[in-house]
Amino acid sequence: KLAVRVNDSLFVHAGLHPKYAKMGLQTLEKMSNDLLQEDFCDSYSSLFFAEDGPLWTRDLSLGDDETACRLVSETLSLLQVNRMVVGHTVQHDNKINSRCNDGLILSDTGFSEAVYGTPCLLEFIYKMQSQQTSNESGFPTPLAINELQVKSQESNIHIKYIEVRAIFQQSDSPAMDEL
């Protein structure tokens, strides 16, 4: 899949510009499937190779705040989601970061041994009951989004533990106390 919607979040490798969001996720999926059926390496004008395409853009991750956040906001609105989770642009602090009021989650922490080699996970916590809050589109809204990073003890690198860091938490949610 080129881009996947899960509840109120969009997951896409590098980011999705509004011009691609306007096509709709089903159209993008069909285009990518069609390209994979042919010799797409000859299709340099395709969305696989477009500089602002979903596999290559860094405009949202590295662009100036005003422009990037305007593009993110427009894409989120078009697809009726609350956030876009992207990889592709390594976060050199080895942490999952966010921009645009948590509308863009930058999740590439350099997991590869060639970069930093530290496993890191993104966790969404939902309360799946009738009082679960939801957005305008009717999808559940997470109570929290956390970064989980695998760490080693300095004295013994074979002892691993998981360090949790909150990225987003509903501050007014009494349900968080129940977790």
Average pLDDT for 50-75: 94
Residues 163-178 as b or e (16 or more Cβ within 10 Å = b): eeeebbebeebebeee
pLDDT on residue 121: 82
130: confidence class by pLDDT, cuts 50, 70, 90:
very low
Q: What is the C-alpha to C-alpha distance for residues 106 and 93, in angstroms, rounded to an integer?
A: 11
Q: Which carries the bigger pLDDT value, residue 153 or residue 64?
A: 64
Each residue's pLDDT tens digit, 153-168: 677 666 666 777 787 7
Burial class (CB within 10 angstroms; exposed 0-12, middle 13-18, buried 19+) of 81: buried
Residue 149 is predicted with a pLDDT of 74
Q: Angle 69-134-78 (CA atoms, 0-180°, nearest 5)? A: 40
**Predicted confidence (pLDDT) at residue 77 exceeds the cutoff of 90:** yes
- When pLDDT is cut at 50, 70 and 90, the band that residue 71 belongs to is very high
Q: Which range, 27-41, 95-109, 113-127, 128-142, has the best average confidence (pLDDT)? A: 95-109
For 64-141, where are the alpha helices, taking DSSP H only?
A: 65-79
For position 160, what pLDDT does the model report? 66
The residues, ordered by sequence, that sit 6+ positions from 126 with a Cβ below 8 Å of its Cβ are 7, 132, 140, 142, 143
